[in-house]
Copies of this chain bind each other. A is one copy, B any other.
Amino acid sequence: MKALFLNCTLKASPQTSNTEVLTREVMTAFEEEGVATDLIRVVDHNLKPGVSSDEGNGDEWPGIRAGILDSDILVIATPTWMAQPPSTAKRVLERMDAMMTETDDEGRPVAYNRVAGVIVTGNEDGAHHVISEIAGALVDLGFTIPGQAWTYWNGGPGPGPSYLEADHGKDWSLKTGRQAARNLIAVARALADKPMTMG
């Protein structure tokens, strides 16, 4: 079983991404359960605007798309900006839009029987909304969202420190993230045994 993490930070490598720090902490919970993990920092790649699976001419989406389809579990890890999903997360979802009409050998949308979760960090308010937006789009495509398949870290009210600078709430975020990992793996395994089918 494989889990792919897409880090949607706005900061290109090798800049420090707060989201990546929390994400790597959650990734260990997957590895402890024997799930192979991989992390891609989206902004390091050229994801051309569009809604097809290959926009040609230098487009690096096809590689990321292959990684998604090669995994049982997808986790979108993202900061909040203005309490909303950032452009990078939206670009990923847009490029996945083509999956609406792409089907497997049994005529099922390719996202069927895959599960997805969300990890959010921000220095302020907005995580729940970001989770709902991303989860809503993924359900639209056919991904199953297990109960409590997310974690987040932030503070409030108003602007505040980043995850790495702060010292509050990290235990809660990590504990919640470890249970999210457990839930994602459980539902992925249940669907592997008894998959969804087309009517």
Contact = CB atoms under 8 A, between A and B. Distances in A.
A39 interface: no
Interface in A97-113: 97, 109, 111-113
Interface string A146-162: 11111011111110000
20 contacts: A10-B50, A49-B88, A82-B140, A83-B127, A83-B128, A87-B88, A112-B148, A125-B128, A127-B156, A139-B145, A141-B147, A141-B148, A152-B157, A153-B156, A155-B157, A156-B156, A156-B169, A182-B196, A186-B194, A194-B194
Interface of A: 10-12, 43, 49-51, 81-88, 90-91, 93-94, 97, 109, 111-114, 124-129, 131-133, 135-137, 139-150, 152-158, 169, 172-173, 176, 178-179, 182-183, 186-187, 189-191, 193-199
Nearest to A184: B196
Given A156-B169, A194-B194, 5 more contacts: A83-B128, A87-B88, A114-B147, A144-B144, A187-B196
A158 B146 CA distance: 19
A176 B139 CA distance: 13
Nearest to A128: B83
A153 to B, nearest CB: 5
A49 B87 contact: yes
Nearest to A160: B169
Contacts of A172: 157-158
A58 to B, nearest CB: 14
B94 A10 contact: yes
Contacts of A11: 49
A196 B179 CA distance: 10
A111 B147 CA distance: 8
A105 B33 CA distance: 24
A198 B181 CA distance: 11
